[in-house]
Amino acid sequence: MHDDGSAPTAEVEETVTTPFDAQGLRGKLTANAPLAPLVWFKTGGNADWLYEPADLEDLREFLARLDGTMPVMALGLGSNLIVRDGGVPGVVIRLGKAFSTVEARRDMVLECGGGASGILVSSRARDAGVAGVEFLRGIPGTVGGFVRMNGGAYGREVADVLVDCDVVLPEGEFVTLPAADLQYTYRHSALPDGAVVVSARFQGREGIPEEIGAEMDRIANAREQSQPLRTKTGGSTFKNPPGEKAWQLVDAAGCRGMTKGGAQVSEKHTNFLINTGNATSADIEGLGEDVRRKVYGETGITLEWEIQRVGRP
């Protein structure tokens, strides 16, 4: 289906019966949709259904028709995610171009679509002379994921800059939630399951584009030096326990380079897992659990997963 700028009619294979009314929807509906190409690890099974809404109204209409009858999961860049090999039940929502806008307002607030990437948000902010969100350059993912997970890097996190966000709830209801309602803690929010973040507003401050750009370059270079960016990985695997660094605990437990099937603990940064080429999601998740056991055995500290694991084993 080519993109001519108009909203397409929902496409679904003729032979597949939808468990909901797809008539008149304008997005793209795919049954038994492969998710491995959409996630950084390049592993995992299919979604029962994948819906790529044409715009906000189309998303609301689609969810209203589902009416809470099946699980809903939003998928961003797939950077912080293990999709298990058995696939994802229900519907996966993927926000496209219509949700990837970023606008800088006069009051130094950035109006961002839920599908906009961290690189796009920080770049638009730089061009508009809005400082304070440079750290988003260092987080792989989209606004929707940052808001849900309280994404952070280089000493800053979304809780520091979020004003509020617009969310579509699983039954199609549209609500605006102030930052306080998300009850942010480290890499966690109180956002309801199945809620799709369609836009958010971040508060910046006046800055000089050249200085903002220099800080973004510093962050990009620091990532390049320390993280295995050119591999099939999923970002930071474990949360940092209070007063500790996860990578140091993993390293001290002797896990650097450890493997399971086609999965490996990165030699470059031990809080990253890598698909060396033929890993399954079970290999990757199993390796993570092996690491957690070893770290607990050495230190008595239980590492918590930062990567989301979803779907059927």
Helix (H) or strand (E) holding 177: strand 174-178
AA letter at 85: D
Residue linked to tokens 């996190």: 157
Best CA proximity match to 174, nearest among 288, 18, 60, 7? 60
Q: Round to whole Å and give the CA distance between 111 and 130.
A: 12
Q: Round to whole Å and give the CA distance between 112 and 101.
A: 6
148 is annotated as an active-site residue: no
- The region that residue 154 occupies, defined by phi over 0 for left and psi between -120 and 50 for alpha, beta otherwise, is left
Catalytic option among 60, 84, 137, 187: 187
Catalytic option among 199, 236, 266, 281: 236
Burial of 160 (0-12, 13-18, 19+ CB in 10 A): middle
236 is annotated as an active-site residue: yes
Residue 153 in tokens: 């890097």
What is the residue-wise DSSP string for 259-306?
EETTEEE-SS-TT-EEE-SS--HHHHHHHHHHHHHHHHHHHS--PPB-
223 is annotated as an active-site residue: no
Q: How many CB atoms lie within 10 A of CB 205?
A: 11
CB 228 within 8 A of CB 157: no
Q: How many CB atoms lie within 10 A of CB 296?
A: 14
What is the residue-wise DSSP string for 224-264?
HHHS-TTSEE-S--BPPPTTS-HHHHHHHTT-TT-EETTEE
- Which residues have a catalytic role annotated? 187, 236, 306
